[in-house]
Amino acid sequence: MSESRKILCEIVGKESLKPGEFVEAKVDLVLANDVTAPLAIQEFRKLGAKSVFDTEKVVFVLDHFTPNRDIASAEQCAFVRNFAREQGIRHFYEGGEAGIEHVLLPELGLVRPRNLIIGADSHTCTYGALGAFSTGMGSTDIAAAMATGSTWLRVPEALKIEVLGSPGRWVGGKDLILHIISRIGVDGGTYLSMEFTGRGIENITVEGRLSVANMVVEAGAKNGLFPVDGVTKDFLKSVGVDASPFSIEPDRYGYISEITVDLSVLEPQVALPSLPSNAVPVSQAPRVKLDQVVIGSCTNGRIEDLRIAADVLKNKKIAKGLRLIVIPGSPGVYRKALREGLIDIFLESGAVISPPTCGPCLGGHMGVLASGEKALSTTNRNFAGRMGHAKSEVFLCNPAVAAASAITGMITNPEEII
């Protein structure tokens, strides 16, 4: 049996579950943001519900179009804010308390292994990096869960991904997941649980694992799952969570298929427009002239990501005519970056520093692209029109490649800079 099925068995109180079986399960956390929460609240009202099932287990983070981009986004935030006050929601985050939701929640210790976490955001799968069964859902499903504390799931088949070796200096979790998606395609994991195992896992940091789990949905997966090992336990302990370890079983039993990735031979990856599956090694990427580089998002806006980017940018200037936007993923990340001098490095290089926000990732604000412009970004999607005009183009990469490319003004291997 796959590890995801084992977790679901524990949650629903059954000894075994078959792939394709439908189950009703109690949720441990329900999440929504300023874009998805208003619809969920409206549907909650239509259900005739008077109060949420647990004021400690419903989380609202205002992060997509905030600080408020326009009147419409201000109205959305006010709607969610008023509901949160009315219901006495304990975990409501906005302004100086808010960060990008999938960066913020792990930092706050709200994510726990073997929990069931659902969110009205497709990248809720991020929390599988910490051993949770987490997945995105529509706002209507979130409304029902807010009212009842339960949701329904179809038990997924599982894809085992064995990770071997140790990555090179400029290779991280982003490169692993882009490489995997390039191999299986944007539909190669459809409604599967992508489960990561192998000796190479120990060489991937928690931040790297969060990046990987964040993007399993770009292959269509239901969820991603990493083991809880010493690396995970140390991180969870630092945020006040005591966790028991578990591993992903090493044999194929319970898995529909498996693939193997050797980190030691993996180059930094660049996803060409306009799909994450168009990933190629940076040495094969075209040297296109860039108009904008973005370092941030729920994929690569954590402190490790900013440290890597600053390591490349230190004592260097960005290319003339290029815009570099750096977005710390949370107030905690921002404070650490300030204390460590990273913000000074970015400012000296010529970067613009944004408050924590999803902003440009979805073409919301803080870096929307004009027609014909090309951007290199550490975000997770590069569909046509994703970051602005339908005739703009987006390339995806890790923070090191983004920083190196900001210096040269074209897609560049950091090895050429350092």
Q: What is the pLDDT of residues 383-402, one digit of tens each?
A: 999 999 999 999 999 999 99
Residues 212 and 316 in one domain: no
Closest of 357, 411, 388 to residue 104, by C-alpha: 357
Query: Could you tell me the pLDDT band of residue 251, with boundaries at 50, 70 and 90?
Result: low
pLDDT-based confidence at residue 138 (cuts at 50, 70, 90): very high
CA torsion, ordered 32, 35, 40, 45, to nearest 10 deg: 120
- Specify whether 191 is located in the same domain as 61: yes
Q: For residue 346, what pLDDT is reported? A: 98
Q: How far apart are CA 347 and CA 360, in angstroms?
A: 19
User: In this predicted structure, what is the pLDDT of residue 365?
Assistant: 96
Q: Give pLDDT tens digits for 293-333.
A: 999 999 999 999 999 999 999 999 999 999 999 999 999 99
In this structure, are strands 22-26 and 29-33 parallel, antiparallel, or unpaired? unpaired
Q: Could you tell me if 134 and 192 lie in one domain?
A: yes
Does 250 score more than 70 pLDDT?
no
Residue 346 belongs to what H/E stretch? helix 342-349
Q: With 80 as the cut, is the pLDDT of residue 284 above it?
A: yes
**Domain end residue (candidates: 205, 238, 263):** 263
- Domain end, chosen from 212, 230, 263, is at 263
Q: Are residues 141 and 122 in the same domain?
A: yes
- 68 with 188, same domain: the answer is yes
Amino acid at residue number 121? D
Rounded Cα distance between 233 and 15, Å, is 27
Domain match, 343 and 236 both: no
CA–chain centroid gap for 351, Å, is 23
Domain boundary among the residues 263, 291, 307 is at 263
pLDDT in tens, 49-98: 999 999 999 999 999 999 999 999 999 999 999 999 999 999 999 999 99
pLDDT of residue 415 exceeding 80, the answer is yes
pLDDT of residue 418: 82
Looking at residue 15, its pLDDT comes to 95
252: confidence class by pLDDT, cuts 50, 70, 90: low
Q: What percent of the chain has pLDDT over 90?
A: 98
- Residue by residue, DSSP assigns 106-168 as HHTT---TT-EEEESSGGGGGGGGGT-EEEE--HHHHHHHHHHSEEEEEPPEEEEEEEES---
Q: What is the mean pLDDT of the chain?
A: 97
Instruction: State residue 110 phi and psi, 5-degree precision.
Output: -85, -10
DSSP state string for 46-99: HTT--S-S-TTTEEEE--SSTTT-SHHHHHHHHHHHHHHHHHT-SEEE-GGG--
* 227 and 374 belong to one structural domain: no
Residues 145 and 42 in one domain: yes
Tokens found for residue 377? 């970004």
User: The domain containing residue 377 runs over which residues?
Assistant: 269-416
* CA dihedral of 246, 7, 178, 215, whole degrees rounded to 10: -130
State whether 174 and 149 are in the same domain. yes
Q: What is the CATH number of the domain that holds 188?
A: 3.30.499.10
**Is 277 in the same domain as 257?**
no
Give the total number of structural domains in the chain. Answer: 2
- pLDDT for 249 equals 77
Average pLDDT over residues 372-393: 98
Instruction: Indicate whether 278 pLDDT > 70.
Output: yes
pLDDT tens-digit profile of 201-237? 999 999 999 999 999 999 999 999 999 999 999 999 9
Across 11-20, 121-130, 140-149, 246-255, least confident range? 246-255
Do both 362 and 338 map to the same domain?
A: yes
What's the pLDDT band for 254 if we cut at 50, 70, 90? confident
Between CA 262 and CA 24 the distance in angstroms is: 38
- CB of 27 closer than 8 Å to CB of 117: yes
57 and 166: one domain? yes
